[in-house]
Structure 1
């Protein structure tokens, strides 16, 4: 019984910390074997891809589902440090404002 309660507490904590940013583009042609994204590019049914905006997308009968791949630092010393985004790796690093060569500690990241 205690193991179940502990498992539920851990699950509730993980769900609370997870704030994934996702969106859906409904499929315009319900019988189609492809999806059209916002740029007008068509993708085969059941395909997956990554966008230049750091999103992972997939095509299904319902449409396109995309979720951000970017983990954003939210708990760090904002006066001493700043976040720097690298579009190539779709990631942030947190560094000292006065000496960007020195990384800063981050206690929490949010998707």
Structure 2
């Protein structure tokens, strides 16, 4: 096999992995499932959406395509970690940055974060 054939083989394998996800493949920060759109006993139709207890928003992609679940939240990245900490709130599916010392009421300054 020459270099061009090897290159083409790698390109094709990469493209196939993007368009044909496995049962629980990950792509674009989402999990893709190739099975019936069903969650906790409820069956969903194409483009129906639902949320899970672990903060995933899911969308049914239709018969034969399955569904995808994405977890979108803002993650604070740059703040004074010596005095503040990021705390996950499962109810709101979000982080807040609070003082490590409960007696200190000074708000924590957040300089940067990412959408995860």
Q: Which residue of 2 aligns with 1:73?
A: 76
Q: Rate the CA distance shift 1:101–1:88 in 2: closer, same or farther, 3 A.
A: farther
TM-score w.r.t. length of structure 2: 0.62
- Structure 2: how far apart are the matches of 1:67 and 1:52? 13
Question: Do residues 23 (structure 1) and 31 (structure 2) align?
Answer: yes
Q: Which moved more, 1:39-48 or 1:69-78?
A: 39-48
Q: Which residue of 2 aligns with 1:59?
A: 60
- Structure 2: how far apart are the matches of 1:40 and 1:60? 18
Question: Do residues 106 (structure 1) and 114 (structure 2) align?
Answer: no
TM-score w.r.t. length of structure 1: 0.64
The alignment yields a C-alpha RMSD, in angstroms, of: 2.1
Residues paired across the two proteins, number: 85
- Structure 1: how far apart are the matches of 2:79 and 2:92? 21
Gaps of 5+ in 1: 1-19, 28-33
Question: Displacement of 1:40 after TM fit?
Answer: 6.1
Question: Displacement of 1:78 after TM fit?
Answer: 1.2
Gaps of 5+ in 2: 1-27
